Amino acid sequence: SRAHVLLSLSRQDGIEQHMDFESRYTLLQLFAETTSSEEHCISFEGIHLPQ
């Protein structure tokens, strides 16, 4: 699934060092779109998003 692909990409060795915050945030948004609303709440637990 697309979610699995995004997770695989985000877990590649060293990719974290090459992604700035905006890129990570975009990845989180894309991942959130692939999940249900319940999973979305869980995946963003502890992350304070601007309202």
CA–CA distance, 10 with 41 (Å, rounded to integer):
19
Q: Which domain holds residue 27?
A: 2-43
CA–CA distance, 48 with 51 (Å, rounded to integer):
9
Compute the average pLDDT of residues 40-50.
55
- Predicted confidence (pLDDT) per residue in 11-38, tens digit: 555 555 556 777 778 878 877 777 655 5
The number of distinct structural domains making up the chain is 1
- The structure tokens 């695989």 sit at 8
Q: Is residue 15 part of a domain?
A: yes
Q: Is residue 51 part of a domain?
A: no
pLDDT of residue 15: 54
Q: Is residue 48 part of a domain?
A: no
Q: Is residue 50 part of a domain?
A: no
Q: Is residue 36 part of a domain?
A: yes
3-state helix/strand/coil string of the chain: CHHHHHHHHHCCCCHHHHCCHHHHHHHHHHHHHCCCHHHHHHHCCCCCCCC
